[in-house]
Structure 1
Amino acid sequence: MSAIGWVDFSSEHRDKVKSVIDLLSTPGVIDELGIGVVRDSFSDSLFPGVSTIQTRAKYFLTVPRIFKDYERLPAHKRRRRKLADYLNEHENLCMEAMVGNHQDDPQDGIIGESFANKQGEVQRKPSSAYWTGIRQFGLIKTNLSLQVFSRKFANPDQPLLDLVQGTDKTKGDDPDATEQANATINGPAYDEDWIENLTVHLSQEEASFLSRQIEARVPMCLLGQILLDSDVRKQFLDLPNDWNFTTLADEAPFLSQFPGDLQMIIAAARDFWQLMCGAHIRYNCLLQGRHGTSALREEFEGEWDEWKAELASFDWDRWDTGFLWELAKHHHRRVREHTIRFVESWIEGIRDDQPVATLDELVTRQERFNKKSRARLNPTAEESVGKWVGIADLNYRLSQARTIISDIHRGLTASEGDDA
């Protein structure tokens, strides 16, 4: 079995690699043509703080509580006990408590549930999966990566302003300044025995707090706008579960209430996939022609014809390819030059109705740039392909955001007396 050895990468770099590895087992998400960075730029604009490996909203609160509990330890105990060990131990305790407390109320999304009654540990703990959102929503006020924050937070002599204002490479502006501990960790009040009674459900107080934090920190994104208005939130959750992002963008009645800039981003995200879906259809046509079956090749050629017919009504007047690169830059995401050339050439090609052979050459070249020696369309490649290879849809974290919003909504509408 192959293994990954970490050299000198930050914890955030490791987390990004782990996120990619987590996705590889999910059909229809492998990025063969290199458009994932554009997808992620849209996702950051629509649902910031949410990731594809998050499961339930409750974890946004459990992780800060563990840090808060560690902070409350006497200084001499903190000096003797590594925060990394404390965090690992208490995340395992949370996992075991959640599993036990849901024996009669089975719930999806309990991280590590399959490990609860076995020896061994889940590799992706909530602290890793939720760290970006925890920072984004101001639940822990820091710019540091999880690894660096944990190391510095474990030091009882560490000035808190360093944790609030510093980055992985720099300290805060005033290392001699002192702040109250609650300026670093933010959250609703909780009982000392909170782990013992832990469930995935949010109480009213927890849901209200988390909703307010998201609304305050990311008010102009789709996530924030949905939470800001209770009627919109209900309408969103009433949408059919099988709606993808394209259907949401085309048919959700409440989108017209949102700010114009957000409506533009939603439309651009929807249009980007409509345009690039054709490239992925051609990719699969080429794969079936080289490594697959004539029956599947004919099926995908039929999908190509349908896609071309739908493209006839595409609103080119509202499309701006340059906006893709502006958005990526805004979110500090680097799009490779060969991907920029591919996307621009593909869109220009379909707009000008260039021959299929020309478009196929663009796709073939891009896969080789993106996958190099692992490209399936290389002349020497020997592959066995299934029904579909590569990205099948772009939903921009919609399903994960829906779960987070649903958890918050349930907590906000819970009857008095419901516990966590």
Structure 2
Amino acid sequence: MQIGFIDFSKEERNKILATLKLLGTQTALDELGIGVIRDAYADILFPGISTIQTRAKYFVLIPYLFKRAANQKLSSGRAVHKWLTANEDKMVETLVRNSDSKETGIIGKNALKQKRAVKMKPSSIYWNGLRTFEIVRSAGISFSAACNVTWSSAQKKNEAEPKTDGDSFDDMTAGQGNSVLFSPILPDYDFEKTAAITLTRKEAEFLADKITKALLSQNTLFAFLIEHKLNCNSFDEIPVDILAHEMRHDYLLAKDFSDFIIGAHIRYNIIFSNYQDEEMVDEFNSWRTMFVNRDFDLAAVLDRISCNYATVKFCADFLDSVYKNDLQAMDEMIIAREKAVKGDRAKLCKPNEYQYNFDRPVHFYRLDFRFGTAKTIIDDIIKGLEG
């Protein structure tokens, strides 16, 4: 089966490409429709981070390329757009050549081997993060609009009379043409020839400063881990006792929800296996024994975020069935929930079409709310600061 879409705009196209890419990974599965809760807490704890980001370097490479584009005497915003995307492709070879062969996360590395370019460019993947961390200074500006502003600012700069020695700027970026779009970060090396995927100390200091001071990311868990140079191995290992009160509260609510919803996913696998996966049965029994003997406040979890009624009801009904140990009601609501979320693609409603894989249960992992991606960004920044 082929999937198609109407290409209305670059941003809409990239949203669809991102969705299709995520559908190819196990971690993107959301049979029970809890993604709205997962993503809401991810935005609270790790704002500006998305699961398809790979390395921190792109948060500085994109501003570098915009600055270079402004000096190309291009004919329009569309020409700026074309120049940027072409040079993002060229950067792949530069990053591969100058990075250690063991380094991962270079976008387009595999495509380069096949002599092709990736469809989704780093600028699309990182644009929301650039705005969140106020690296892009206009909060709501799109990539295409930024290209137009870059061209327009460059035109005005070229047409303006040179300033005399007695003139000055109130804003340190006011006289830099297009760089008013970005917080000032200029490379102190020839990035187009010598950039590696790792951060320089200057770049790491810049990113640490932006993330810990930007309105939408300051006072978040993400900023805290960077500020204190905490390189935790997993979401569960974050040192809760040293977190500020509100931050600790949000982290514990997210962690509680992860501990809760894993039970629904375990039960999903039991149903999907036609009750034949004994390991999942044992997992569920162990989970329920531990869960019913601990405190859990679902209302507190859901009150912290915006969530649709159907998802709230499913969570509440599942919790009630867990406490009552009503397995029949539990299984019926899980089957109904997947059907409501997935429609004709619901696996539990088509046992003859979808086959359970005993070696790879579905969604058998605890939510980490994008911590895995955030950890990579944090690691890059910490290494850069120490370097």
Percent identity between matched residues is 30
Structure 1 residue aligned with 2:317: 345
TM-score, normalising length: structure 2: 0.86
- Is the Cα contact below 8 Å between 2:31 and 2:341 reproduced in 1? yes
Structure 1 residue aligned with 2:6: 6
Quick one: distance in 1 between partners of 2:274 and 2:113? Answer: 48
Aligned ranges 1:3-402 → 2 under 5 Å = 3-8=3-8, 11-74=10-73, 77-79=74-76, 82-102=79-99, 105-142=101-138, 143-156=140-153, 181-191=178-188, 193-217=190-214, 218-229=217-228, 233=229, 236-237=230-231, 239=232, 241=233, 243=234, 245=235, 247-248=236-237, 252-253=238-239, 255-289=240-274, 294=276, 296=277, 298-316=278-296, 319-321=297-299, 323-324=301-302, 326-327=304-305, 329=306, 335-350=307-322, 352-378=323-349, 382-387=353-358, 388-390=361-363, 392-402=365-375
In structure 2, relative to structure 1, the CA distance for the partners of 1:338 and 1:7 (3 Å cut) is: farther
Residue type matched to 1:338 in 2? Answer: A
Quick one: distance in 2 between partners of 1:392 and 1:213? Answer: 32
The more displaced of 374-383 and 26-35 is: 374-383
- Is the Cα contact below 8 Å between 2:253 and 2:300 reproduced in 1? no
Q: CA deviation at 1:159?
A: 9.4
Q: Is 1:409–2:387 an aligned residue pair?
A: no
In structure 2, relative to structure 1, the CA distance for the partners of 1:70 and 1:256 (3 Å cut) is: same
Q: CA deviation at 1:105?
A: 4.3
Quick one: distance in 1 between partners of 2:92 and 2:252? Answer: 39
Quick one: distance in 2 between partners of 1:145 and 1:348? Answer: 45
Report Cα offsets for 1:176-231 as digits up to 9, x if no partner.
Answer: x99964331124222473210110111111110110000001121111111222xx
Q: Where does structure 1 lack aligned partners over 5 or more consecutive residues?
A: 161-176, 330-334, 415-420
TM-score, normalising length: structure 1: 0.80
Quick one: distance in 2 between partners of 1:367 and 1:80? Answer: 45
In structure 2, relative to structure 1, the CA distance for the partners of 1:3 and 1:361 (3 Å cut) is: closer
Structure 2 residue aligned with 1:173: none
Residue type matched to 2:136 in 1? Answer: I
Q: CA deviation at 1:314?
A: 1.9
In structure 2, relative to structure 1, the CA distance for the partners of 1:15 and 1:346 (3 Å cut) is: farther
Q: CA deviation at 1:152?
A: 4.8
- Is the Cα contact below 8 Å between 1:78 and 1:155 reproduced in 2? no
User: Aligned residue pairs: how many?
Assistant: 366
Structure 1 residue aligned with 2:167: none
Quick one: distance in 2 between partners of 1:340 and 1:11? Answer: 34
